[in-house]
């Protein structure tokens, strides 16, 4: 790994989207406010609320006591959520920027103040085996417990909560918007849901009561205890396995690979539906032998039926001078994954690539045809291939 390749100048999302012609759509509340909440006190009051929500607010934090802290000596506290186990003095924040010691007690500053709330196809999460063609309401806050030099949302995830525009949205209001939007699921995605754990937990409880699916897209940098607890409320999880080299994780991601692998194994043991995303970055984690090793590990430790998404890297944040991932590299990685025994392997970021589609591993027929995030054809009936009857893993209704 070349040091000069991992500490370059920043490029923001707007510049990225000019280059790629696509990207995240940060709607705030505007896209969801077409449906009025039930029984408003007055039309004027509703219009006032709409305008306030659409603007958002900078500096919004909602300090909330967190149970995931241990009290230490002399007023210190230790965060027990992630493997970093930050020990905080009075007034000090953890590496994630949103967990703080206030007068000897641990608080989260990421409760009820999402910086992102938007409706999307579930394929964008990405989940390819979870009710294809359905819509999900995604939610995220400022903050992250990792420091990826290729972060796609660095101007939200790698900022303090008071430095981004956010919305005052307690769990009950989130669910009101989800019901009004008619989504099938709530997705904790785009930022890192581990750092707004308490908020996610409360929203997920309400979503479960409302009959909606709970989906989490995470880097998987979380301790086993809190992970086991939140998995009880999750229907599906997509984990970013960002590479398979411990030094890459330390230097480029800001964490330890072993903890992510442990989280993946725990998710599989809990029988929560699992998909994996692996972004391939030229010169940093695209060594084909390491990719083969990673695929063999997934097949052996998690099973051949776990869907794997190879994502294309685009130059941004501190890696803005690197080229985007060649399509040929993604093709070789997909071939290596199939050779390792994985049955469902996808390619993201290459328009109209064959790797956007789902094929039955038994009869070879194309059972889901996709163009981007749009489902063109779906041939899965009662969880099985419509052609040969092979069971297809996933959540299909």
DSSP letters for 198-217: HHHHHHHHHHHHTT-EEEEE
Helix (H) or strand (E) holding 290: helix 288-297
Q: Which of 108, 139, 167 is the last residue of a domain?
A: 108
Work out the angle at residue 98's Cα, subtended by the Cα atoms of residues 110 and 32, and round it to the nearest 5 degrees: 30
34 belongs to a structural domain = no
CA 382 to chain centre: 28
Domain count, the chain: 2
Same domain membership, residue 290 and residue 347 = yes
Q: What is the mean pLDDT of residues 357-368?
A: 98
Closest CA to 267 of 311, 309, 219: 219
Residues 270/313, Cβ–Cβ less than 8 Å: no
Q: What is the CA radius of gyration of the chain?
A: 21
Say whether pLDDT at 32 is over 70.
no
Say whether pLDDT at 44 is over 60.
no
Residues 194/82, Cβ–Cβ less than 8 Å: yes
Same domain membership, residue 330 and residue 263 = yes
Say whether pLDDT at 350 is over 70.
yes
Say whether pLDDT at 36 is over 80.
no
Show the domain range for 93: 64-108
Q: What is the pLDDT of residue 35?
A: 30
Helix (H) or strand (E) holding 156: helix 154-157
Q: What is the mean pLDDT of residues 98-119?
A: 97
337 belongs to a structural domain = yes
349 belongs to a structural domain = yes
For the stretch 122-159, pLDDT in tens is: 999 999 999 999 999 999 999 999 999 999 999 999 99
Say whether pLDDT at 45 is over 60.
no
276 belongs to a structural domain = yes
For the stretch 313-324, pLDDT in tens is: 999 999 999 999
Q: What is the mean pLDDT of residues 168-178?
A: 96
Q: What is the mean pLDDT of residues 175-195?
A: 97
Residues 358/368, Cβ–Cβ less than 8 Å: yes
Same domain membership, residue 378 and residue 246 = yes
Say whether pLDDT at 30 is over 50.
no
Q: What is the pLDDT of residue 52?
A: 52
Q: Which of 54, 74, 108 is the last residue of a domain?
A: 108
Q: What is the pLDDT of residue 326?
A: 97
Residue 348 burial class via C-beta count within 10 angstroms: exposed 0-12, middle 13-18, buried 19 and up: buried
390 belongs to a structural domain = no
Residues 84/94, Cβ–Cβ less than 8 Å: yes
Closest CA to 124 of 145, 152, 156: 152
225 belongs to a structural domain = yes
pTM of the model: 0.88
320 belongs to a structural domain = yes
Q: What is the mean pLDDT of residues 184-205?
A: 97
Among residues of the chain, what percentage have pLDDT more than 90?
84
Say whether pLDDT at 218 is over 90.
yes
Least confident range from 35-44, 84-93, 111-120, 157-166: namely: 35-44
Q: What is the pLDDT of residue 4?
A: 43
302 belongs to a structural domain = yes
Same domain membership, residue 185 and residue 159 = yes
Say whether pLDDT at 334 is over 60.
yes
Among residues of the chain, what percentage have pLDDT more than 70?
86
Closest CA to 123 of 140, 105, 138: 138
For the stretch 247-295, pLDDT in tens is: 999 999 999 999 999 999 999 999 899 999 999 999 999 999 999 999 9
Helix (H) or strand (E) holding 108: strand 105-108
Helix (H) or strand (E) holding 43: helix 43-55
What is the rounded distance in angstroms from the CA atom of residue 334 to the CA atom of residue 342?
Answer: 9
Same domain membership, residue 125 and residue 87 = no
Q: What is the pLDDT of residue 56?
A: 80
Q: What is the pLDDT of residue 55?
A: 58
Same domain membership, residue 96 and residue 167 = no
We report the CATH number of the domain holding residue 17 as 3.20.20.70
- Whole-number mean pLDDT of the chain? 89
Calculate the alpha carbon distances from 30 to 17, 179, 309 in Å: 21, 16, 31
Same domain membership, residue 197 and residue 84 = no
Q: What is the pLDDT of residue 271?
A: 84
Same domain membership, residue 227 and residue 180 = yes
Same domain membership, residue 276 and residue 225 = yes
What is the rounded distance in angstroms from the CA atom of residue 283 to the CA atom of residue 92?
Answer: 37
Calculate the alpha carbon distances from 192 to 156, 168, 238 in Å: 10, 19, 12
What is the rounded distance in angstroms from the CA atom of residue 76 to the CA atom of residue 104?
Answer: 6
- Please provide residue 100's backbone torsions phi and psi, each rounded to the nearest 5 degrees: -140, 150
Which residues fall within 8 angstroms of residue 271, CB to CB, at 6 or more apart? none
Same domain membership, residue 363 and residue 260 = yes
Same domain membership, residue 215 and residue 140 = yes
What is the rounded distance in angstroms from the CA atom of residue 89 to the CA atom of residue 299?
Answer: 43
Q: What is the pLDDT of residue 59?
A: 87
Same domain membership, residue 189 and residue 87 = no
Residue 139 burial class via C-beta count within 10 angstroms: exposed 0-12, middle 13-18, buried 19 and up: buried
Largest CA distance in the chain: 67
Closest CA to 187 of 174, 173, 170: 174
Q: What is the pLDDT of residue 76?
A: 97
Strands 185-188 and 135-140, by their bridges, are: parallel
Q: Which of 108, 136, 168 is the last residue of a domain?
A: 108
Question: Angle at which helices 257-269 and 224-231 pack, to 10 degrees?
Answer: 30
Q: What is the pLDDT of residue 10?
A: 45
């Amino acid at each position: 790994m070349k040091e000069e390749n991992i500490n370059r100048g920043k490029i923001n999302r707007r510049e990225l989207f000019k280059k790629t012609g696509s990207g995240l759509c940060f709607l705030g509340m505007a896209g969801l406010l077409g449906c009025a909440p039930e029984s408003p006190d007055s039309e004027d009051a509703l219009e006032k609320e709409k305008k306030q929500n659409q603007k958002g607010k900078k500096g919004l934090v909602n300090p909330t006591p967190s149970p995931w802290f241990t009290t230490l000596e002399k007023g210190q506290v230790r965060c027990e959520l992630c493997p970093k186990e930050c020990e905080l003095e009075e007034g000090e924040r953890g590496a994630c920027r949103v967990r703080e010691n206030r007068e000897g007690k641990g608080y989260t500053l990421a409760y009820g103040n999402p910086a992102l709330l938007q409706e999307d196809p579930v394929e964008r999460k990405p989940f390819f085996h979870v009710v294809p063609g359905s819509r999900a309401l995604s939610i995220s806050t400022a903050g992250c417990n990792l420091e990826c030099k290729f972060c796609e949302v660095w101007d939200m995830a790698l900022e303090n909560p008071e430095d981004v525009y956010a919305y005052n949205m307690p769990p009950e209001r989130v669910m009101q918007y989800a019901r009004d939007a008619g989504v099938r699921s709530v997705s904790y995605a785009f930022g890192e849901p581990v750092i707004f754990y308490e908020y996610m937990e409360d929203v997920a409880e309400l979503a479960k009561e409302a009959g909606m699916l709970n989906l989490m897209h995470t880097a998987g940098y979380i301790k086993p205890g809190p992970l086991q607890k939140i998995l009880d409320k999750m229907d599906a999880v997509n984990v970013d396995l960002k590479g398979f080299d411990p030094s890459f994780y330390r230097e480029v991601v800001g964490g330890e690979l072993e903890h992510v692998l442990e989280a993946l194994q725990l998710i599989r043991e809990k029988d929560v539906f699992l998909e994996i995303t692996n972004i391939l970055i030229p010169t940093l984690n695209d060594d084909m032998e390491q990719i083969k090793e990673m695929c063999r590990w997934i097949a052996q430790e998690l099973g051949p039926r776990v869907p794997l998404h190879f994502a294309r890297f685009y130059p941004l944040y501190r890696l803005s001078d690197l080229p985007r991932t060649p399509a040929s590299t993604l093709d070789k990685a997909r071939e290596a994954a199939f050779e390792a025994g994985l049955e469902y392997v996808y390619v993201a970021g290459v328009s109209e690539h064959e790797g956007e589609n789902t094929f039955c591993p038994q009869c070879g027929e194309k059972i889901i045809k996709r163009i981007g995030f749009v489902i063109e054809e779906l041939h899965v009936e009662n969880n099985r291939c419509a052609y040969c009857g092979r069971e297809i893993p996933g959540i299909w209704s």
